[in-house]
Every structure is written in structure tokens, then in C-alpha cells.
Amino acid sequence: MSKPLAKKVLLIGWDAADWKIIHPLLDQGLMPTLNDFINEGVMGNLATLRPILSPMLWNSIATGMRPDKHGIHGFMEPDTQNGGVRPVTSTSRKVKAIWNILTQRGYKTHVLGWFAGHPAEPINGISVSDLYPYATAPIDKEWPMPPGTVHPENLRDTFARLRMHPTEVSEAAILPWIPRAAEIDQEKDKGLQSFAKILSENCSIHNAATWILQNEPWDFMAVYYNGIDHFCHGFMHFHPPRMEGIPEEKFEIYKDVVNGAYRFHDMMLDTLLQLAGPDATVLLVSDHGFHSDHLRPRGIPKEPAGPAVQHRPFGIFCMKGNNIKKDERIYGATLLDVTPTILSLFGLPVGEDMDGRVLVQSFEEPPQIERIPSWEQVAGECGMHPADMRMDPAAAQAVLQQFVALGYVQPLSEDQTKAVASAVREQKYNLARAYIDARRHTDAVALFEELVEESPDQVRFQQNLAHCYLSVGRRAEAKAILEKLITDDAERREKQFQEAKAKHEAEAEESGGRTKSHLTEQTSMQQIAGQAARPHPWADLLMGIIQFEEGDMDAALASLLKAEQADPRLPDLHLRIGQAYLRQRRTADAERAFLKALDIDGDSPEAHLGLAIVRLRQRRNEDAASEALLAVGLQHFLPMGHFYLGVALARLGHRERSVLAFETAASMLPGLLAAHRWLAALYVQPGGDPEKSARHRSIYLQLARRRQEHAKPRETVL
């Protein structure tokens, strides 16, 4: 066991917190606590995982593992004990969370409100489940807590009294957020009810957290607040600037709610920091961000977990405490890194089966990192429930209704067989997407093939299967799926157009057959065409990728530009257009495409990488290095980002730094021929390492020979 670097650790979770909203508030002096926190420690982006679904993400934060390992694959699962379905629970998690590991090592540990935290686990401390704050009865009725809400049981009544009911949210609490609340017709507009519910739930969690800090000894505490996420889902469409289609009067009433949510969290943070004391090391994290600008979606997909389209792939990370750097920005952090970093703070080894890494760049002096094969193999009481522990059916239904209200799950079918089938299907779908995120495309293919066979009418399954086929080199099968989807889509749109046209003609006939000018008639037909379903631009996007891989750049650009015409904001579209232009040596066109991608999303690592390649082509090597650094800072696991950073640094004469970049690229992508070629050349220079040069040259020759034997095309370095 290494020397501990922290006396105690406080982990605070703000679901969906996003720097895009925070930075303007900091500049205006409206989040003073967080501003001081940042100045006293480190901060940066926290890259999320896909799919961007909170139950999966918060359990990856708590375990350092991807969903395929920790076992939580969505919002609900089959209930094998009571029949039907239930929300994911603490027994759904297959591995130890950080509080289980610390319990096993004798630390006094508390956890509050964590997603999928019911029933409360019997850890060495207090556990308060995520069902704790939900008001299940009117204020004048008994408001019971479901069994298993609090551990230990003898504190149940204490915590019951700390809860806040939505009806206790007074006018004085509402008006700072919604000054024109009196204008709301509460019979038609349920905004105030939603506001009071979210506020009271987060006050309840905060009351419980502050009570523990004031009354109980502790070494570690984790507390989760869902407020920012829930306020954003409810009120982000009213956030400035006003979105098209939002009535001005409603915009004026609700425009300050989201900013108010952040300011309220800043106040709660102030209390937590004061109670935790100066000796505590504090981590503040979010599992993802939330689109708040021109990237806000125009609509929510009509599919399970559709509201996740509003999530942005970068959350926030802040940490301060003894041995932590001050007023520094860190790069390349992911939510998988939180638990390994906490283990290092306590001087404990990191499990080799954890997918995250210790954020060593946060420390004044790099910690000594020890490793063990797995914490799952360490015997002893860790405070986990047996997997077959029963969940109270009434409590389960209450949580499911919360998910339905938020739009994360569709209204549940009364037919239990259908409900179970739907839960299993969505779990399988989310696991398959998690496999894609982990670059396990072969595993994802098997699941998507099952999903397509079971539900051939679900376009989303076919889309993902085509993507996976393309990723594993099965281009013909991917192409066949897309060609059929494009044909079916064209037929569907033509049918809708003809139906709309017939309706238009029938209405004209009923109106007495009044003649219209040619221009008016032409305009009517254009309107009808516009009302017909839009084509699926992603099909043209994927077709363009296939044609790109096949080397047909003209066809690829035609497909990609067709997709752009249908939806110019389609994710990754301008990246692919830029790559196609690069392949054609049309550097100026590629530059415009990557700049357009950055105009849409300035935090796109792939767009910064594309621009780095453009700058290298233009011999603007310093600019290329800057763009490549931005790319790997946003997404550390980006092998080609490190490679092109190495190229830029080598051209600038920074040999040692370029070697480090190439070594990083080669470690991430061992088959990257060009990286080994560069390393062989750099290590042979004066002051280098001839043995390493020879080793990389040998690797390069072996890889090149193997590739030639298998008749694979030579690696293209754009």
C-alpha cells in the first residue's frame, strides 16, 4: 500500500453539468464558490461514454469500468422475482463500487442518491438510496420511505424528517428563479409543479449530505445531485437564446431557470466545502454535458431514451486538495478515471481490470501507482447485496414512473410479456452501443444481428448494424443494408407526397374548384413536398463512408454532399467531407469543411485533428501542433491525434516531445506503421537510443511484410 495523499475524499456528482453554461456564469461572478474551487485546484473536460445514459455512466464513474463489466445497461430490466420490469438497482451492478472497496479496507464511507442505488447497500457507513427524495404522497398524507431506502435502518426516521416535499417550495423560493411565476396558468402549464419537484428532491439529498457531514465521522463520501439534468430536460428549450418555435411569453417566464439551477448548485457546493473542511480532497464531476446553444436538437427522437439526444459528450472535472496542483487545466480525462484516481488518493492499488487510469497530471508530484489483478478477487465484507435481493414492487413502479415522466422510458405496457421484451431489447441495444464505444465491433455485430432479426422494422438497429459491418470490414453487407434503407426511404417519401397531394386536390375541389395562379400552385406543391418525411441523411453519410473506404472519392463526396443538403448539422458529416477532400488533395476545401465542423461544435476532437492535418499540409507546423494538442486534450485515446502531434513536433525540432507523441500513438495503435517508422528515424539520431531505433525498425518491417502478404493496401497517412 502506497502512502495516502488525502486524509478524506468527497466526491460530488452534478448530473449533466457543462462548462458551456458554467464559464459565462463564472465570468459574471455568479458562481463564486466554483470559481474559487477552480483557482485552488485543477479543472478540465470529462469525456463521457456512449450511449450517454446516466445509469450506465454514473456506475462507470463509481467502478472505473465500462458497462459491459459493471452490468448496468439502461434504465430498466426484467424483474425475475415479481414479474414484469423494474428499474435498475444496486443489485444490478456486478462489481464493487468505490464505496464497497473502501468498506472492505475499513474506511468510514457514505454514499447518497447515487443512480441505481436502491436498495441502500450495507456499507461501513451510511447509504441513502436514489429513491429517498421522491414524494409519493400529498403533503397532508403519510409519506413513507420504501424499504431499503436508508442503511443503517436505525437512522430511517432521522433521514425521513430531513426530506422536503414539493409543496413546501414557497413563493420566496420560486421567485428568484421565475420572477413572473404569478402569470402562469397552472391548470394548463405544469412548469411550476415540475420545478418544485426537482428543487425539493435536490434539497432533500443536500439535507441528508449536510447532516452526515455534521454528525458522522467519515473518510469518504459520495453525493449525487440530479438537479441540473432534470432542470435542463424540463427548461433548456427556454434557455437563451430563444429557440425557433418557443413562444416569447413562455421564454420570458422560464428563461432564467437553467442558470438559476447552476447558481443554486454553487450555493450547495459552498455548504459542502465548508462542512468537509480544509483537509478534504474534493472531486466535482458530471457524467456528460447538455446542449445549450445552436446544437440543441429540434426535436426528441420517438424512441426509448430519446431525450439523451440533448446530452453533450463532455462533462466537467474539478479537484482540489493537498498534493493537487493549483489553478491548472488538465486534458484527456474520462469518467472512467475517477475511481482509479480516488484509489490512488487513498494509497490503494488500482485494479488491472479497470478501464480508467489515474489522472497523474493533477498531482504536484506523480503518485506511486500500485496495481492488483482485480478488486473482485479480494475477499472480505464489502457491503454489497446478494444479487437475488428483492426490491419492493411499489417502489419499483414509483421509479419507473419518474423515468416515464422524464421521457427516458416509454409508457409501460400493461402486458408484462411485452414490457419484459421491450426491456430486454433496450438492454441489448445499449450494450451493443457500449461495445461500439469500447471498439468491440465484432461483439456489437452479434447483438445487432439479433436485434435486426427480432425487430426488422427498427431502422436504428439496421443503421447500427451497417456501421458495425463497416467497422469490421464487411463493406458489401453494410452497403446492401444502406441501399435497401435508402430505397425504402425514397418509396416512403413518395407515398407521403402523393397522399398529401391527393388531400390538397380534394380540399381544392371541396372549396369550389377556385383556380389558382401557376405560382401559387407551384408554391403549394413545394409546401406539400416539404411536409413529406425528410430522407434519412445518415444513410447517405454511411454510404459516403463506404465509398470513401472503397476509394471512390467522387461517389463518396456526392453521397456526403447529399446528406449535407438534407441535414447540414448531422454529426460527423463535415468531418467525413473534410477527409474526402484531403484524400483528393483539395486542402482548401478540406479546411473549410473542418472549420464548419468546429463552427457546429468547437469541442470536436476529430475536427481539430482534421485541421491539424490541413495545417501540416500548409507547412504551418506550430498551428498543426496546437490543433493536435487540442484534439488529444479533448479525447486522450485518439491515436492519430498523437501521431500528427508527433509529426508537427518533429518538424519543429522538438525530438523528445515528438518521440513521446509517437510512442503514445504506437501504444494505442500497435499496427500504426508510420509511427514505428518515425520512431526508428528519431531514435537513431545523435543523443537517441540505437536499440530502440532497431526495435521499431524491426516492428515496422514485420508489419509491412505482414500487410504485403495479406495484400492489404498501404496505410494512408492523410
Domain ranges of the chain: 8-397, 412-521, 636-718
Whether the per-residue pLDDT at 712 is higher than 50: the answer is no
Same fold, 412-521 and 636-718: yes
Whether the per-residue pLDDT at 519 is higher than 50: the answer is no
Question: What mean pLDDT, rounded, does the chain reach?
Answer: 90
Whether the per-residue pLDDT at 520 is higher than 60: the answer is no
Phi, psi of 150 (to 5 degrees): -130, 135
Whether the per-residue pLDDT at 523 is higher than 60: the answer is no
Q: DSSP label at 357? A: -
- pLDDT at position 537: 81
- pLDDT at position 410: 65
Whether the per-residue pLDDT at 515 is higher than 50: the answer is no
Strand order in the sheet with 109-112: 150-151, 127-128, 109-112, 220-225, 8-14, 280-285, 314-320, 42-47, 328-329
Q: Which residue has the higher pLDDT, 401 or 108?
A: 108
3-state SS class at 639: helix
Nearest to 700 by CA among 714, 689, 711, 688: 714
Q: What is the homologous superfamily of the domain 412-521 according to CATH? A: Tetratricopeptide repeat domain (1.25.40.10)
Write the pLDDT tens digit of every residue in 178-189. 999 999 999 999
pLDDT band at 398 (very low <50, low <70, confident <90, very high): low
Percent of the chain with pLDDT over 90: 71
Phi, psi of 565 (to 5 degrees): -65, -35
Which residues neighbour 183 within 8 Å (Cβ) at sequence distance 6 or greater? 249, 253
3-state SS class at 48: coil
SS3 for 217-235 is: CCCEEEEEECHHHHHHHHH
3-state SS class at 53: coil
Q: Which CATH number fits domain 636-718: 3.20.170.30, 3.30.930.10, 1.25.40.10, 2.40.30.200?
A: 1.25.40.10
Write the pLDDT tens digit of every residue in 36-91. 999 999 999 999 999 999 999 999 999 999 999 999 999 988 887 777 888 899 99
Write the pLDDT tens digit of every residue in 131-150. 999 887 777 787 888 899 99
- Which run of H or of E encompasses 290? strand 289-290
pLDDT band at 709 (very low <50, low <70, confident <90, very high): confident
pLDDT band at 393 (very low <50, low <70, confident <90, very high): low
Instruction: List 318's β-bridge partners, or say none.
Output: 43, 284
Topology given in CATH for the domain delimited by 8-397: Alkaline Phosphatase, subunit A (3.40.720)
Tell me the mean pLDDT in the region 537-544. Answer: 84
Instruction: List 316's β-bridge partners, or say none.
Output: 45
Tell me the mean pLDDT in the region 452-460. Answer: 93
Percent of the chain with pLDDT over 70: 92
Whether the per-residue pLDDT at 533 is higher than 60: the answer is no
3-state SS class at 485: helix
Which residues neighbour 441 within 8 Å (Cβ) at sequence distance 6 or greater? 435, 468, 471, 472
Strand-strand pairing, 220-225 and 109-112? parallel
Whether the per-residue pLDDT at 413 is higher than 60: the answer is yes
Which residues neighbour 41 within 8 Å (Cβ) at sequence distance 6 or greater? 282, 318, 319, 320, 321, 324, 325, 326, 327, 328
Whether the per-residue pLDDT at 412 is higher than 90: the answer is no
pTM of the model: 0.87
Task: Report the amino acid identity of residue 697.
Answer: R
Which residues neighbour 543 within 8 Å (Cβ) at sequence distance 6 or greater? 479, 482, 483, 486, 559
CA-CA distance, 184 to 476, in Å (whole number)? 57
Write the pLDDT tens digit of every residue in 369-379. 999 999 999 99
Task: Report the amino acid identity of residue 500.
Answer: A
